[in-house]
Amino acid sequence: MPSKLIQKYMREEHLPHIWCPGCSHGSFMRAVAVAVDRLGLDHDKVVFVSGIGCSSRSAGYMDFNTIHTTHGRAFAFATGIKMANPELEVILFTGDGDASAIGGNHLIHACRRNIGITTLVMNNNIYGMTGGQYSPTTPTGEFGTTAPYGNIDRDFDIAELAKAAGATFTARANTYDLNQATNLIQKAIEHKGFSLVDCLSICPSYYGRKNKKGDAVKMIQWQKEHTVSVQKAQNMTAEELQDKIVCGVLCDYDYPEYTEKYQQIIDRVRKD
């Protein structure tokens, strides 16, 4: 018997999902459903947009208006949707490759415009759908099928990238603390303007196996040991923070939202 959450918000007929055992994309998908439920959003006005890759299959499982777009372009599709109807709550599922490699340009410009889109990056440090190639967030020195001798690229911090590009809300969540993840996603949806949550997902099938990280439990355990909250990090030295990943709200400030600014242009032009 599916849970009430699934019955209310997901397309039961298309479950179970396609993700591998141990993958935590489904946990973040659930966290989004919980956040939407807690916020009591108008079901008709929520749109899920996604790109291409494992992460982007999420949109199709949600029983809302959903659009599974092209690789990297979800930000641009979402921009068109939000411009056409600013009343819509636009939530975007993407992955590390989708958002920061092929979609990198679209990501930074969506941030720069501060358009009202909530972005959830299911960041598992690898291209999973195609079988384990290194992505822009695969740590330097680690392995993928296309980095058989170790990755020589420097890795991106997607939350930092978004913040630098102008996103007015950024946060990082992890698979170990799903309560925190749900709260952060909720805050991101509530935020007016462009918000992004870097969701540290785990991929035992490819990233884990290629890099001898152990099974899903071990990988989640690793996250528990290597993540610290923003509050705790404030009292830690640079040395102590060296092998830690900071989770929580990383940036949060007000700046006029793009479609509201455009509406002001329309109002001004039509008054003249």
Partner 1 sequence: MTKVLMQGNEACVKGAIAAGMRFFAGYPITPSTEIAEGSAVELPKVGGKFIQMEDELASMAAVIGASAAGVKSMTATSGPGFSLKQENIGYASEAEIPCVIVDVQRTGPSTGMATSPSQGDVMQARWGTHGDHPIIALSPSSVEETYRLVIRAFNLSEKYMTPVIFLMDEIIGHMREGVEISNDIEVIDRKMPSEDQKENYRPYDCADGELVPALAPMGKGFYYNITGLLHGGDGFPTNDNEVTGRQVLRLMKKIEDNRADICQSESQDMDDAEIAIVCYGGTARSADEAIFQLKEKGIKVGMFRPITIWPFPEEDFLKATKNVKKILVVEHNYGQILLEVQRLAKNLPVEFLGCINGKTISPDEIIAKVEEL
Q: Tokens 């799903």 belong to which residue?
A: 178
Decide if 229 contacts 236 (C-beta within 8 A): no
Task: Identify which of 189, 34, 184, 194 has the alpha carbon closest to the alpha carbon of residue 107.
Answer: 194
Distance CA 213, CA 203 (A): 10
Is residue 109 part of the contact set for partner 1 (CB under 8 A)? yes
> What type of residue is 51?
G
Is residue 210 part of the contact set for partner 1 (CB under 8 A)? no
Distance CA 74, CA 193 (A): 17
Is residue 265 part of the contact set for partner 1 (CB under 8 A)? yes
Q: 235: helix, coil or strand?
A: coil
Q: 165: helix, coil or strand?
A: helix
One symbol per residue from 42 to 71: x for binding partner 1 (CB under 8 A), - otherwise; what is it? -xxx-x-x---------xx--xxxxxxxx-
Number of amino acids touching partner 1 (CB under 8 A): 39
Q: Give the one residue of 2, 3, 38, 85 binding partner 1; rule: CB under 8 A.
A: 85
Q: How far is the CB of 1 from partner 1 (least distance, A)?
A: 21
Is residue 266 part of the contact set for partner 1 (CB under 8 A)? yes
Is residue 262 part of the contact set for partner 1 (CB under 8 A)? yes
Give 63 or 98: the residue with its C-beta nearer to partner 1. 63
Give 49 or 203: the residue with its C-beta nearer to partner 1. 49
Q: Residue 189: which residues within 8 A CB-CB, separation 6 or more?
A: 35, 36, 39, 41, 89, 91, 118, 195
Q: Which parts of 166-195 interact with partner 1 (CB under 8 A)?
A: none
Give 64 or 156: the residue with its C-beta nearer to partner 1. 64
Kindly give the pairing relationship between strand 117-123 and strand 133-134.
Answer: unpaired
Give 109 or 244: the residue with its C-beta nearer to partner 1. 109
DSSP structure class, residue 207: I
Question: Which spans of this chain sit near partner 1 (rule: CB under 8 A)?
Answer: 11, 14, 43-45, 47, 49, 59-60, 63-70, 73, 75-81, 83-85, 87-88, 105-106, 108-109, 262, 265-266, 269-270
